[in-house]
Structures are given as structure tokens and as C-alpha cells.
Chains A and B, each alone.
Chain A
């Protein structure tokens, strides 16, 4: 029992974290969302503020909300929060503190005859998330305005599967009035969600790898964040067991701080020589560490 718990420690942590940060149970039954002051602060992961249980705000939704407000041309407050989480955790947020990351992790556990290490064209597709950030999160909310000068959150509106899963579905289930308002846009967003759910069974975390603008932001901080990895060159034999264990298919021994690394820790466990470890733990004297 204890061994099983230890093996699935990250999943248990993700479940607990998601439950605590979405702990407004009443919302799920009443078709309501939480209205307390804690929603003035953003949680680190992609956690829709229209999820009935959410106690905090989604950083990506908040960023677009400020940018699309006619009074502002830049979102200092949310940018500051993103920089803070990025500098402290990097993409540790993705591996441990994101409800939509958890959903994809669970989906990937479903058996499938032929799992893929990555999608064809991965080399280029991984840059799509940066384009989505620039276009749907920044440019369009800032520049496409209605007659009173108000923009809209384009990523939330046309792409985000987290809003559909954690916001729309529970609210639609609990409230007939909201359900009645669903139209073509909801159909589109549901199609995006269904596509990603199915793809997540075959490929590990397709949304995080190719589409998520929040992952794109945190990926930039991976090489400099307080929480990062080092490879002890004295211990590493370049056997490649770390890369084999990595579901994101990263050559850890060459690039321990790759922008795509979500800090799941699988490579650390897989290394037979204990050569990979979080930077804060490694004794400097022993190692001639690599840090890329």
C-alpha cells in the first residue's frame, strides 16, 4: 500500500492540490462559482475561474481580462505573478500544480495498443504554443475591440479545453438556464476538448507540448528557475535510461533544463547512478555540473 502510494506520489499530490484549490464544493451542486476575495490572486496552473469549485483565478484568463480591458494596454499584475511562479518553479507547475496537466496524465494511463513518443512534426509543432500565446493571448485581445473599446479573451473563447472541461461541463450539468444558452461556439469548444482527450490517450500531454500558452511562458523560465536540474558529469555514463523513462522524450543528460521538461521526476528515479538531481541538492565540490 505504502509502496503503491510512493510510486504514484505525484498523482496523489496533483489530486490533492486540485481538490484543495477547487474546494468550493457547493458550487458544483448549485451551478454557481465562488465569489470570494481569493479570486483576486492567480493560482499557478491552468485552472479555470469559471470552474464552480475554483478558489483562485486562472493566470491566463486574468492576463487576457486585463489586456482586453479598455483602460489597460499591459497586464503588470498578472505578468508579475507569472514571472514569480516562473522564476521559482519553472515548469514544475506543469508537472505538479496544474489540473489540466493532471487530466492528461490520467488519460495517458489508459491502455492503448500503440502509444506514440511524440507527434510527427514534433520538432516544429512544439513552437505552436508560443505562436498561440503571442496571437490569442496578447495580440487579439489587445487589438480586436468592440465599439466601446473592449476586447475579448480569444484563447479562452476559441481554444481553451480547460474552460470547457472544468467550467462549462459542471455548470451545464447543474444549471438548465446556462445549458439552454449553448450554441455553435460551445460545439466547437467541445470538439477541441474531445480531440485533445482522445489524443492524450495516445501521446503524452499533447496540449502541454504543442498548444498551452501557459506552458510556453513557464518553459522560458526552466533554465533559470530556482527549481532546476543538474547532471553530475562524474556520475553520468550517458546510458540514456533517463531519456527512455522520460515521457516528454528529453535527452536529460544533455539538456537537464530543456524548456519541455515538466519536472515530473521520472528521469531522476530512472538513473541508476543518481546523476540527475535538483540543483539545490547537488554538492558543488563533487561535480563538474552541466547546466544548459
Chain B
């Protein structure tokens, strides 16, 4: 499959990947990674059924 055909048949996926990258960058800029990290490095009491 040529590059042109590949792009043509995957346009929606390419658009979503680009939007995803923008979302990730916006989230990182807003400080969301720190929230994820803080939750993930401490035992999540809700997950294990005691919180």
C-alpha cells in the first residue's frame, strides 16, 4: 500500500491520533500527570475494597 493510500484509508485514525497528542499535551500542561502518579504510587484503597 502506498503512503497516499495508507493516509487515505486511515484518515479518521490519523485525526484521532493527532487530537490524542494534543489532549495529552494539554493534560500534562494542566498538571494531570502528577494526579495520576500520586494515585498510582499509593495503594488505592477503593480498588482493593477497603476505602
In the complex, which residues of chain A have a beta carbon less than 8 angstroms from the beta carbon of B24? 76-77, 80-81, 84
The interface bits of chain B over 15-46 (1 if a CB of A lies within 8 angstroms of the residue's CB, else 0) are 01101111111111011111111011111101
The interface bits of chain A over 72-90 (1 if a CB of B lies within 8 angstroms of the residue's CB, else 0) are 1001111111111011100
Cβ contact within 8 Å between A77 and B23? yes
B3 within 8 A of A: no
The prevalent SS among residues of B at the interface is helix
In the complex, which residues of chain A have a beta carbon less than 8 angstroms from the beta carbon of B40? 39-40, 49, 54, 57-58, 61-62, 65
Cα distance A88–B10 when bound, in Å? 10
The interface bits of chain A over 153-165 (1 if a CB of B lies within 8 angstroms of the residue's CB, else 0) are 1001100100110
Cβ contact within 8 Å between B48 and A80? no
Cβ contact within 8 Å between B50 and A185? yes
A105 within 8 A of B: no
The prevalent SS among residues of A at the interface is helix
The size of the chain B interface, using a CB distance under 8 A, is: 40
B36 partner, pick from A62, A153, A168, A189, beta carbons under 8 A: A62
A224 within 8 A of B: yes
Cα distance A240–B3 when bound, in Å? 34
A75 partner, pick from B1, B16, B27, beta carbons under 8 A: B27
In the complex, which residues of chain B have a beta carbon less than 8 angstroms from the beta carbon of A37? 37
Whole-angstrom distance between the Cβ of B30 and the nearest chain A Cβ: 7
Cβ contact within 8 Å between B20 and A168? no
Cα distance A57–B42 when bound, in Å? 11
A279 within 8 A of B: yes
In the complex, which residues of chain B have a beta carbon less than 8 angstroms from the beta carbon of A182? 49-50
Cα distance A163–B45 when bound, in Å? 10
Cβ contact within 8 Å between A80 and B36? no
Query: Which of B25, B31, B46 lies at the interface centre, i.e. has the most chain A CB atoms within 10 A of its CB?
Result: B46
Cβ contact within 8 Å between A79 and B39? no
Residue contacts A-B, CB under 8 angstroms, 7 given = A40-B36, A42-B36, A72-B30, A80-B26, A157-B46, A163-B47, A186-B48
Ranked 3 nearest A-B pairs via Cβ: A77-B27, A80-B23, A76-B27
